[in-house]
Structure 1
Amino acid sequence: MYSQLTEEMSTPSDIAKLKMLKESEPLQHAWDEWVKGRDALQETSELLSDPDPSMRALATEEYTSLTDHLNTTVTQTFPQLLVPPSTTVQLGALMELKSGVGGSESSLFLADMLRMYQRLANASRWKAHIVSKNDLETGGIKDAVVEIKGEGAYDALRWESGVHRVQRVPATEASGRVHTSTVAVVVLPLMEETDGQNDELFSMDEIRIEVMRARGAGGQHVNKTESAVRLTHIPTGVTVSMQDERSQHQNKRRAFQVLRSRLMDRKLTREIEERRATRLNLVRTADRSEKIRTYNYAQDRVTDHRIGLTLMNLTGIMEGGGLQDILDGLKKNHEEEVMEDMLSSA
């Protein structure tokens, strides 16, 4: 049948149908394998009560193997084939970290988190580059922006957006009392100047550009030239200020990069909310004001509250490698939500 369709198809409509058939081949193969395994399981189950002990033992072993294979197909293979391919898989991530409640302890934990994401990037063969960082004289970091470039970086890290809570005893706490502090993380899609999607995000007549003298650390350069740049996207009111680079040109380039990322993030978030308008309980996954994770040092425990996952491996997670287990769980949860959306709208 497939060969006949290939030979006879010639119109645009036919070619589209052929493309759909080609794309559905992996799913058809997985379904055929699942049906084959299901039938084999039914046959094997009849042998579990065989009078021959050796036959029962072989049947039990085969039954366990087939059951594991079918469960893997249902929980992993089918979701991977049914979930539409990501449209942002090529994008890197622009991460903004800001200290929250907790004073200096919050800033110290922000520094720990920044190292965690840098180590994760190295382990994942991504490239991490700190765009800006506001160090405090008392130690720690008040806020930071880091670029993480590499395929799949944004798709993996976008679920890190939200409030991260840490519970631990500060080094300066003489009584040993546990303090609770927070760090807010925002993950944006990293939009490069050459990305084709830039044109649809804004037009230059929608941008107000202002230049001013830089403030803060910088030696003799400060207040000598108008190197700082502020961009405002008039339709949305989104504002980006940049003064970390030495020249107005560099600051303008950085500011436009951040603006593109923020506008792309708004676009993606709006699409998520529109798709899930009938499933309000899922919209909260994009709510950056929500406490998403707790790092408890006394119990060596990290809990992601969105998926109810608790890992007793805080040190491994802060070293970057263990964080991958949480990201994998969040990815699996996302795929399940997408499948539920598809089924509910079918």
Structure 2
Amino acid sequence: MLRTALRLRVCLPPPRARTFRWSATPHAQPRADTKDNVAVALEKSPVVQAVQRRLQQRSEMQAKVQPDSNTAEDKQTLQRIHEMEPLRAAWEEWENTRNLLAETTRLLQDPDPTMQALAQEERSELLARLAGLAERTFPALLVPPSATAHLAAMLELKAGVGGSESSLFAAEVLRMYVRLAQAMGWHANIVANNETDNGGVKDAVLEIKGERAYDLLRWESGVHRVQRVPATEFNGRVHTSTVAVLVLPLAEDKGSEVDEELFKMEEVKVEVMRSRGAGGQHVNKTESAVRLTHLPTGITVSMQDERSQHQNRRRAFQVLRARLMDRKLIEDVKNRRDVRRNLVSSADRSEKIRTYNFPQDRVTDHRIGLSLMNVEAVMEGEGLRDFLDELAKKHQDDLLEEAFVAS
């Protein structure tokens, strides 16, 4: 007997994420006096039920609020009602499609074979429309838009354990993110690069600007581990080295050092000093280096890469704002709910998040259990997009689960 099956998935497959799954196998030609089993099962799915609860809340708010009220509370409620209007419109489309499906199902018993065939084709299209609403439209409307989508990203890279091999890998990681930015159509700018004598990098700062740059790169924060045979190793032994990556949100520079939402000027201790290290005749002769200390948090930023004190001061305040904004975003996530614990836990920058195994040609992200068998593609930036996409999906799925709890 011919049977059809439909699966509704709103999360990544296990073990990478919790999965809300629904499946049904109704008869191809149901009796006219029974409901369509596929549509009934869709209506019982977590997404559709969350939509119904959210719209019930909207109806309750409408019943309580006065449209012509000028109170701050009522204005806020009216705003929330207005924000749920797209969800209400999508639900209206759902109900219209559901009604059409019920009418079409009854036509499957028509004695005319041509009418039956047309009804079967129409039924398949209507079921696909319902599944599209439940799988794509509803989840997108249940999850609030990202509040950080407009932010650029500032990446701080620092060589870790592994000596010179670590600094060499840090240089390759820096290049990986530059190549990724090119592949994504973003703009990358290396604003600081402390190179070593062997061509490696002790530490570096990279700015990446473009659509959703911070939202996609924020999960790169953590320890990146490389396993490979160094060029100087004659016995073919595999060495392990690490590079620490810190991704900070970078807001548009408005030309002002002070961001009243993040800090006040009296909270910042500013010190100037002579630059240190190898360089031209400018180094060690003028007090161009700047060090900032945010007294409430103890965050310290030192900058000496630019030639003038003014440029270093501007850059230091830019980094300070980014670090304070990063701190605020992490606190906001923890205060709301810890449903994204497996992604946010790397915020202390000490967790190993990814391993680049060159002998086995494998890159593994330990948070989502995803491995790609092409180290070169990842290091060239293009392969890294697969990890970013999966991490973004995981984040979206966690937000959707949070929406289920909230509705």
Whether these two folds match at TM > 0.5 is yes
Which stretch shows the higher mean deviation, 316-325 or 141-150? 316-325
1:296 Cα deviation after fit: 2.0
* Corresponding residue for residue 316 of structure 1: 377
Equivalent residue letter for 1:131: V
CA gap of 1:317–1:282, structure 2 versus 1, over 3 A, is: closer
**Matched-pair contact (CA < 8 Å) for 1:121–1:127:** yes
Q: TM-score normalized by structure 1?
A: 0.84
Alpha-carbon distance between aligned partners in 2 of 1:115 and 1:28, rounded to the nearest angstrom:
47
* 1:175 paired residue among 210, 235, 247: 235
Q: What is the letter of the counterpart of residue 80 of structure 1?
A: A
C-alpha spacing 1:315/1:275, structure 2 compared with 1 (3 Å): same
Higher percent of residues as helix: 1
What value does the CA root-mean-square deviation take over the aligned residues? 3.4
2:312 equivalent in structure 1: 251
CA displacement at 1:306 relative to structure 2: 1.2
| Offset at residue 151 of structure 1 (A) | 3.1
1:340 and 2:340 matched: no
Of residues 240, 246, 251, the one that matches 2:301 is: 240
Match for residue 86 of structure 2? 26
Q: Which amino acid aligns with 1:183?
A: V
CA drift of 1:172 comes to: 2.5
CA shift in 2, pair 1:215/1:67, >3 Å: farther
Aligned to 1:220, the other structure's residue is in SS state: coil
Residue of structure 2 equivalent to 1:304 = 365
Residues 1:191 and 2:227 aligned together: no
Other-structure match for 1:111: 171
SS at match of 1:94: strand
Give, in whole Å, the separation in 1 of the partners of 2:178 and 2:168: 16
* 2:219 is aligned with 1:159: yes
1:345: how far off?
4.5
1:150 partner letter? G
1:23 Cα shift? Answer: 2.7
Q: Distance in 1 between matches of 2:118 and 2:159?
A: 59
**2:279 matches 1:218:** yes
Q: How does 1:65-80 map to 2 (within 5 A)?
A: 72-80=132-140
2: CA distance, partners of 1:259 / 1:69 = 49
The CA distance in 2 between the partners of 1:307 and 1:322, in whole Å, is: 16
Aligned partner letter, 1:201: L
Name the aligned partner's letter for residue 326 of structure 1.
F
Equivalent pair of 1:93/1:157 in contact (CA under 8 Å): yes
CA distance in 1, matches of 2:82, 2:328: 31
Equivalent of 1:86 in 118, 124, 146: 146
Report the CA distance shift for 1:172/1:307 in structure 2 as closer, same or farther (over 3 A).
Answer: same
Instruction: Kindly indicate whether the alpha-carbon contact (under 8 Å) linking 2:288 and 2:304 is maintained by their aligned counterparts in 1.
Output: yes
| Rounded Cα–Cα distance in structure 1 between residues aligned with 2:110 and 2:231 | 66
Partner AA of 2:327 in structure 1: R
Q: Secondary structure at the match of 1:221?
A: coil
Q: Distance in 2 between matches of 1:51 and 1:295?
A: 64
* Distance in 1 of aligned mates of 2:338 and 2:79: 31
Structure 1 residues 108 and 31, CA gap change in structure 2 (3 angstroms): farther
In the alignment, is residue 276 of structure 1 matched against residue 354 of structure 2? no
Structure 1's 315 and 31: CA in aligned 2 closer, same or farther, altered over 3 A? farther
Contact 2:340–2:395 (CA under 8 A) maintained in structure 1: no
Residue 90 of structure 1: how far off its partner (Å): 1.4
| Partner Cα distance (1:164, 1:248) in 2 | 33
* Aligned residues of 2:340 and 2:398 also touching (Cα < 8 A): no
Which structure 1 segments of 5+ residues have no match?
none
Looking at structure 2, the residues matched to 62 and 300 of structure 1 have their Cα atoms a distance apart, in angstroms, of 48
Count of aligned positions: 341
* CA displacement at 1:269 relative to structure 2: 0.9
CA contact (8 A) 1:192 1:257 kept: no
- Cα deviation, residue 132, structure 1: 0.6
Is residue 191–residue 198 contact of structure 1 (8 Å, CA) maintained in 2? no
* 2:142 and 2:403 in contact (8 A); partners too: no
d(CA) in 2 for partners of 1:52, 1:300: 60
In structure 2, how many angstroms separate the alpha carbons of the residues matched to 1:36 and 1:287?
49
The amino acid that maps onto 1:314 is: V
The percentage of aligned residue pairs carrying the same residue is 63
CA-to-partner distance for each residue in 1:201-244, whole Å, 9 max, x for gaps?
A: 11111111111111012221122111111111111111000111
Structure 2 regions of 5+ residues with no counterpart? 1-61
What is aligned with 2:28?
none
Deviation at 1:178, TM superposition (A): 2.4
What is the match of residue 22 of structure 2? none
Quick one: distance in 2 between partners of 1:300 and 1:71? 39
* More displaced stretch, 30-39 vs 169-178: 30-39
Superposed CA deviations along residues 101-133 of structure 1, whole A, max 9, x for unmatched, are: 222222222111111111121222221111111
- Where does residue 95 of structure 1 map in the other structure? 155
SS across alignment from 1:211: strand
- Structure-2-length-normalised TM-score: 0.73
Contact 2:104 2:123 in 1 (8 A): yes
Larger Rg computed on CA atoms: 2
